[in-house]
Amino acid sequence: MLFLELAQTFERMEKTSSRLELTQFLVDLLRKTPANIIDKTVYLIQGKLGPDHKSSQLGIAEKIVTKALSLATGMSKNEIKSRFDKIGDLGDVAYSLIIDKTQSTLFQEDLTIEKVFDTLLKIASSSGVGSLDLKIRYITSLINNSSNLESKYLLKLILGNLRLGIANFTLIDALALCFTGDKKNRKILESAFNLSSDLGNIARILAEGSLEDVKSISVSLFIPIRPMLAERAADSKDALNKIGGKCLAEFKIDGERIQIHKKGQQVELFTRSLENISSNFPEIAKMFADFDSNEMIVEGEVVAINPANSKYLPFQSLMRRRRKYNIQQTMETYPVLLNLFDIIYYDGQNKMDSPFAERRRLLESVFGNVINNRLRLIDQMEVSSIDEIEMFMKKALEYGSEGLMLKNPNSIYRAGAREWAWIKLKKEYSGTITDSVDLVILGALYGKGRRVGKYGALLLGSYSKEDDTFYTICKVGTGFKDDVLDNLYQKLSNLIIHKKHPRVQPGALSMDVWFEPTIVLEIISPEITLSPVYTTGKDMIKPGYGMALRFPKFSGNIREDKAPEDSTTVKEILEIYRNQLK
């Protein structure tokens, strides 16, 4: 199948802000895609070369792409740069530069989806001496063989900025419609996705097999599972009611969740957004490789500790371990402690359907003898009264935890689900949100005074899983140090979009710039109020009104460990609002 067909679909998608239309374009495209390339097509639609945990990532530097575009078009790099400064996107620059070669016979060969995919894979995976020239040659040759429309989307793919607003959710809808004719089957596809994190593979199974084959997808070692999530309760009484009385309470530590897969000496670590971060925590990988047990998938919260006194360090310190370079040195300055809290797979057996209490016992029997100053099981206690919860909460806070996690002892592990089987209970709310929320950046206003040339206020949003949409909730401009603001400005510049995003509900707000929802910030605010301006919870409490954070302030934590879909949900915000009124 020709890449031109994909480029034409992208062009249609770029022009719409309607989710329904996006889904329909996807269905039309998937229907005519041959089964043997449907996985590659799905990855390209996602702007990827494979599932996040496996593939080499696109996102080639602008400098390299500029050089290739210059070689292919004969236009100087300076001219390209000045057009880029005006238009803001190299794909669009290519579109304006390249004559529509579909009219002519200049092509050396037709670009097929397969050819493009394979070449992009070579570009993304070439490294070492000479790889720069090689990348430029591949990109130049792709441009030479493409029309203006094709090069526009080729370059957006290569740069990693396709930004069509297609989320997993939309793709799952389209796959259900295309292959089963019924959107209701999205549930089955979603469950398979929660276990396998690979929509390309699911598409291929659907195209070559059936829905029954998708149902049989199960846990596999080295394929990250979407983590089970917790609901948020207002206070111990509320939590105890919702969890049904007796439960297992655990310390809730503010670190980073990691999922560890081990088979013999092979160990891989994944974040909660399913990225492979094995190289950031080499000491954990080694500890598990040396561990005398065969196959397992376990989960825990990793936290940076002060090497002098073993006290927990704030989340920002842990984020230093996310950097690519000088790992050895950061490893010494910021040692980490892993607090295990779940076991999902052990010795060839899927443990997801075992009750939580049983999984905990297994965890204890497997790790009972290896507890040390770098690895422990999370502190746990059985509780059945408010007094017991409060006593354990006090201990947790003294210890440096941010609160408690209450877990239903009979609950199974439901990948990707946020349910009342797990409840997070941070410090008592006492009528205000002493607790923080995690919100995604949706737009910005340009700054004034000291902040000219930067963003003055950022528009933030919450997430609604029900319709996979981000809703606005506040503008924040305080709490930012200058270097953080500079850094954010750089990152956000690469996320600018030029239309209303299909997954954002902005209401009547107008901003200077809009972004692809990507970056999650931790925000503190004393209160949630009703507001006619913002769309979070619109009409749910009072007609014409949504919810707003009052006096929002950035806590200093950019939640690099969270995907935009991990932001605080509209449901949680409503819950906090209702609890304020109690």
What's the CA gap between 441 and 439, in Å, rounded?
Answer: 7
Residue 548 Cβ, how far from ligand AMP at the closest point, in Å?
21
Rule CB under 6 A: is residue 378 a binding residue for ligand AMP?
yes
What's the CA gap between 161 and 164, in Å, rounded?
Answer: 9
Spatial neighbors of 446 by CB under 8 A, at least 6 apart, are 452, 453, 454, 455, 456, 512, 513
Block residue for tokens 């300055």: 333
User: Cα torsion at 280, 286, 289, 291 (round to 10°)?
Assistant: -130
What's the CA gap between 72 and 143, in Å, rounded?
Answer: 6
Among 10, 95, 288, 341, binds ligand AMP (CB under 6 A): 341
Number of residues that bind ligand AMP (CB under 6 A): 12
In this complex, which beta carbon is closest to ligand AMP, that of residue 423 or of residue 485? 423
In this complex, which beta carbon is closest to ligand AMP, that of residue 144 or of residue 408? 408
Residue 16 Cβ, how far from ligand AMP at the closest point, in Å?
33
Look up 252 and say whether it is catalytic.
Answer: yes
DSSP string, 295-319: EEEEEEEEEEB-TTT-PBPPHHHHH
In this complex, which beta carbon is closest to ligand AMP, that of residue 268 or of residue 438? 438
Tokens of 160: 């990693």
According to DSSP, the β-strands at 437-446 and 513-515 are antiparallel
Burial of 308 (0-12, 13-18, 19+ CB in 10 A): exposed
Q: Which of residues 384-413 bind ligand AMP (CB under 6 A)?
A: 405
In this complex, which beta carbon is closest to ligand AMP, that of residue 120 or of residue 396? 396
From 38-46, 130-138, 250-258, 574-582, give the range in contact with ligand AMP by CB under 6 A. Answer: 250-258
User: Cα torsion at 525, 531, 534, 536 (round to 10°)?
Assistant: 70
Rule CB under 6 A: is residue 250 a binding residue for ligand AMP?
yes
From 13-21, 177-185, 246-254, 384-392, give the range in contact with ligand AMP by CB under 6 A. Answer: 246-254
Residues 496/88, Cβ–Cβ less than 8 Å = yes
In this complex, which beta carbon is closest to ligand AMP, that of residue 14 or of residue 565? 565
From 196-204, 236-244, 251-259, 409-417, give the range in contact with ligand AMP by CB under 6 A. Answer: 251-259
Rule CB under 6 A: is residue 226 a binding residue for ligand AMP?
no
From 127-135, 211-219, 245-253, 281-289, give the range in contact with ligand AMP by CB under 6 A. Answer: 245-253
List the catalytic residue out of 48, 252, 407, 562: 252
**H or E element, residue 523:** strand 520-524
Among 4, 174, 177, 253, binds ligand AMP (CB under 6 A): 253
User: Cα torsion at 323, 337, 317, 418 (round to 10°)?
Assistant: 90
Rule CB under 6 A: is residue 571 a binding residue for ligand AMP?
no
Rule CB under 6 A: is residue 272 a binding residue for ligand AMP?
yes
Among 204, 321, 424, 475, binds ligand AMP (CB under 6 A): 424
In this complex, which beta carbon is closest to ligand AMP, that of residue 94 or of residue 230? 230
- Report which residue's Cβ sits closest to ligand AMP: 257
Q: Which of residues 300-329 bind ligand AMP (CB under 6 A)?
A: 301
Hey, how many other C-beta atoms are within 10 angstroms of the C-beta on 130?
9
Tokens of 83: 């057009």
What's the CA gap between 206 and 187, in Å, rounded?
Answer: 14
Residues 577/541, Cβ–Cβ less than 8 Å = yes
In this complex, which beta carbon is closest to ligand AMP, that of residue 43 or of residue 463? 463
From 15-23, 36-44, 85-93, 248-256, give the range in contact with ligand AMP by CB under 6 A. Answer: 248-256
From 215-223, 249-257, 307-315, 365-373, give the range in contact with ligand AMP by CB under 6 A. Answer: 249-257
Rule CB under 6 A: is residue 425 a binding residue for ligand AMP?
no
What's the CA gap between 17 and 85, in Å, rounded?
Answer: 25
Partner residues linked to 298 by β-bridges: 260, 343
Cα–Cα distances in Å, from 169 out to 133, 184, 286, 565? 38, 13, 36, 11
Closest CA to 442 of 417, 473, 411, 487: 473
Rule CB under 6 A: is residue 230 a binding residue for ligand AMP?
yes
Q: With DSSP H G I counted as helix, E B as strand and the rest as coil, what are the percentages for the chain, rounded to 5?
A: 40, 20, 35
Residue 367 Cβ, how far from ligand AMP at the closest point, in Å?
15
Residue 409 Cβ, how far from ligand AMP at the closest point, in Å?
14
CA atoms within 13 A on the CB side of 355: 8
Among 257, 359, 501, 538, binds ligand AMP (CB under 6 A): 257
Tokens of 285: 């990988």
Rule CB under 6 A: is residue 231 a binding residue for ligand AMP?
no
Residue 470 Cβ, how far from ligand AMP at the closest point, in Å?
17
From 110-118, 205-213, 247-255, 319-327, give the range in contact with ligand AMP by CB under 6 A. Answer: 247-255
Q: Which of residues 20-59 bind ligand AMP (CB under 6 A)?
A: none
In this complex, which beta carbon is closest to ligand AMP, that of residue 149 or of residue 305? 305
In this complex, which beta carbon is closest to ligand AMP, that of residue 123 or of residue 421? 421
Cα–Cα distances in Å, from 132 out to 50, 116, 117, 123, 139? 22, 19, 19, 9, 11
Rule CB under 6 A: is residue 377 a binding residue for ligand AMP?
no
DSSP-based three-state secondary structure for 328? helix
Residue 424 Cβ, how far from ligand AMP at the closest point, in Å?
5
In this complex, which beta carbon is closest to ligand AMP, that of residue 98 or of residue 425? 425
Spatial neighbors of 542 by CB under 8 A, at least 6 apart, are 530
Q: Which residues bind ligand AMP (CB under 6 A)?
A: 227, 230, 250, 252-253, 257, 272, 301, 341, 378, 405, 424
Write out the catalytic residue numbers.
252
